[in-house]
Each structure stands twice: as C-alpha cells, then as structure tokens.
C-alpha cells in the first residue's frame, strides 16, 4: 500500500506516469466516470481549506466514488482529545482512502503509520502540500510542454509557503532549472531550502526583493499569498501582506509566453485586471488540481481503467 506524504515519494518515472494519466482524464473524462464506483474517500481536514477539500471531493465524485469526512478540528474527535493515530484507525474501517490536512507538521505521516488505507497528505502546517505540487507540475507540463529548461520566479511568502518548498523539491530533479526567489528579507526561503536543497544540488538561484527586476527573465511566475495563519504576530502580517501586487503594468515587463501561477486563494497579490491576460494560468491550474487528484486516487487505489 502506497501513501503520499511528499512529492518526492514519487520517482520521476512514477510522476511522469501520473501526469500522463491526469492528461488522459482531462481528454476522456467519461472513460473514468465509474472507475471508483463503490469506493469512499475520507476527507479529514483539521483546519479550514475549502479549495483543497472540494478539489479532492470533486475528484472522487468525478470517478463515481463517494465522500465522507469533516472540515475542521472542532467537528472531529480531535476536539475531545483523540490522537491522529486513533482517528485514522477508525477512519480506515469507514473509507478506502483518506486525504488529511492538519495544522501540525508530520500529522499525516503519523496517520500513515497506523492506517490500513492509503493516506494522502493534503497539507501539514508549513511543511508539505504534495497534491498542490502535483497540480503545479501538471499545469507547467501541460502549458509549457516540459518540466526542464525553465526559469521560475517564486514570489511572496517563501518562508512559510509550503507550496513553494514542495515545488522547489520537485523541480530540482529536472535539468536546467533556475529559480529567482522574490521576497522581502523577512519572508525569504528557510536556510535549509537554500543550503541543503538548492546549494547542495548545484541549482542556479538568485534572491531579489523587487518583482520588476525579475519579470523579464521568467518562464513562470509563481505568486503566493502572505498567509495570516502562519504568523504568530498580527503586526508582522499587516506589514508584509501588501508587499507584492502583480498588475497589468508589471505584466508588460514579462515574456509573451510566461505563465502566471498561484495556488489560490488570492487576496490582493494579483490584481483582478490580470485575470483576462492570456498568460494568467491560475484558474486553469485549479482545474488541473482536480485531474491530478483523480489520477492520484486511481493510482493509490490501484484502479486500472482500460
């Protein structure tokens, strides 16, 4: 039985197979409409996340399966003091596969050690968010036609932004990847990403503070939201939240074939006047999120569709 805790749980070959399956689902949705008939997905969300949870639920429903679960710790037994290990043992007897989001880092890993069904990490604190990474990789591969030879600008909260950390981990496995890390001093990538991941693997990267300085070089601009829930201090959040705003004027500095990505939800870091720009890919990205989660559910449940 396979779980998904980190995007690196999948080899490059396994990932390629998964993304190819997702593209086939995109082209032939009817072929997969009953693939998971009779199967149940449990969505165990200990913190609010409408988007990821609905994306998982849409994925399972599209496959003909059904869904059960909870959407906050208050409505689970965690409010009564039940451990993650105990919860997953119970959920294992109710469902065939589980997607878990938890504010504490490593909680889905704890669950996977006790589970008798596949567990998908749907986000654990500021640590990992592998299905967002799979979504990002599918978006890049589908819209740019490759996962190598890319210059990627990561902009915003690079310190607490787990989507950014996961994406870096996943992309360094491909040749000729360059990162431009765009953030204020206080929200730069953690030292372990800079030293143990980028420097150690000889990945080209530069750190800049002004978005305008990087725009012209980018194949992909990945914007992130400064997340209030990751700050212990409200003053720090208020100071940082409007640091970057991508607008039409800044888009004039970008290449014609650059794409703008964002894990969503956005607050005001991308002006709505960018939405009509053909380079804005963030809503397509959300759609790819459903396809890749469908492919992941099929893969982890070992369901074959001919």
Partner 1 sequence: MLNVGLITEGFVLDHIQAGTSLSIYDDLKLDQLDCCVAIIKNARSNKMGKKDILKVECDIDNLNLDVLGFIDHNITVNIIKGEKIVEKRELHLPKEVKNIVRCKNPRCITSIEQELDQIFLLTDPATATYRCKYCEEKYKGHKKLR
Question: Which positions lie near partner 1, rule CB under 8 A?
Answer: 83-85, 102-107, 109-110, 124-127, 192, 196, 200
Give 21-30's long-range contacts (Cβ < 8 A, gap of 24+): 21/295, 21/298, 21/299, 22/138, 22/288, 22/291, 22/292, 22/294, 22/295, 23/138, 23/142, 23/291, 25/291, 25/294, 25/295, 26/142, 26/288, 26/291, 29/62
Tell me if residue 228 is catalytic.
no
Element (DSSP H or E) covering residue 45? strand 40-45
Q: Which is nearer to partner 1, 124 or 136 (CB)?
A: 124
- Alpha carbon of 266 to those of 225, 255, 306: distances in Å? 6, 23, 39
> Which one from 3, 40, 43, 52 is the annotated catalytic residue?
52
Tell me if residue 51 is catalytic.
yes
In whole angstroms, how close is the CB of 127 to partner 1 at the nearest point? 6
Distance CA 188, CA 216 (A): 21
In whole angstroms, how close is the CB of 28 to partner 1 at the nearest point? 38
Q: Which is nearer to partner 1, 25 or 84 (CB)?
A: 84
Q: Which is nearer to partner 1, 10 or 297 (CB)?
A: 10
Query: Is-contact 219 255, C-beta < 8 A?
Result: yes
Phi, psi of 124, deg, nearest 5:
-130, 100
Tell me if residue 101 is catalytic.
yes
Q: Which is nearer to partner 1, 166 or 299 (CB)?
A: 166
Q: Which is nearer to partner 1, 197 or 305 (CB)?
A: 197
Query: Is-contact 289 135, C-beta < 8 A?
Result: yes
Tell me if residue 80 is catalytic.
yes
Interacting residues of 142 by C-beta distance below 8 A, sequence separation 6+:
23, 26, 288
Tell me if residue 129 is catalytic.
yes
> Which one from 3, 53, 127, 129 is the annotated catalytic residue?
129
Structure tokens belonging to residue 205 = 């990267």
Find the farthest-apart pair of alpha carbons in the chain and give their distance in angstroms, rounded.
55
In whole angstroms, how close is the CB of 38 to partner 1 at the nearest point? 32
In whole angstroms, how close is the CB of 173 to partner 1 at the nearest point? 17
> Which one from 51, 114, 144, 255 is the annotated catalytic residue?
51
In whole angstroms, how close is the CB of 200 to partner 1 at the nearest point? 8
> Which residues does the annotation mark as catalytic?
51-52, 80, 101, 129
């Amino acid at each position: 039985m396979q779980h998904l805790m980190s995007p690196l749980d999948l080899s490059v070959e396994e990932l390629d197979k998964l993304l190819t399956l997702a593209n086939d689902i995109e082209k032939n949705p009817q072929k997969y409409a009953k693939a998971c008939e009779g199967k149940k997905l449990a969505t165990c969300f200990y913190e609010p996340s409408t988007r990821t949870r609905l994306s998982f639920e849409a994925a399972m429903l599209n496959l003909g399966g059904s869904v059960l679960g909870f959407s906050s710790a208050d409505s689970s037994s965690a409010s009564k003091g039940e451990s993650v290990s105990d919860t997953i043992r119970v959920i294992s007897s109710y469902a065939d596969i589980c997607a878990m989001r938890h504010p504490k880092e490593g909680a889905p890993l704890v669950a996977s050690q006790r589970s008798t069904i596949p567990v998908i990490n749907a986000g654990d604190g500021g640590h990992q968010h592998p299905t967002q990474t799979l979504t990002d990789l599918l978006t890049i591969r589908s819209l740019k036609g490759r996962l190598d030879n890319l210059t990627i600008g990561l902009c915003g909260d690079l310190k607490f932004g787990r989507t950014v950390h996961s994406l870096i981990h996943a992309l360094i496995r491909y040749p000729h990847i360059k990162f431009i890390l765009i953030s204020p001093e206080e929200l730069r990538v953690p030292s372990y990403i800079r030293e143990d991941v980028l420097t150690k693997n000889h990945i080209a990267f530069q750190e800049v503070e002004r978005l305008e300085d990087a725009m012209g070089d980018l194949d992909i601009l990945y914007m992130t939201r400064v997340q209030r829930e990751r700050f212990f201090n409200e003053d720090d959040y208020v100071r940082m939240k409007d640091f970057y705003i991508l607008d039409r004027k800044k888009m004039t500095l970008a290449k014609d074939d650059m794409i703008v990505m964002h894990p969503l939800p956005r607050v005001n870091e991308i002006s709505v006047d960018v939405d009509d720009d053909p380079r804005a890919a963030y809503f397509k990205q959300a759609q790819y999120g459903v396809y890749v989660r469908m492919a992941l559910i099929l893969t982890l449940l070992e369901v074959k569709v001919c």
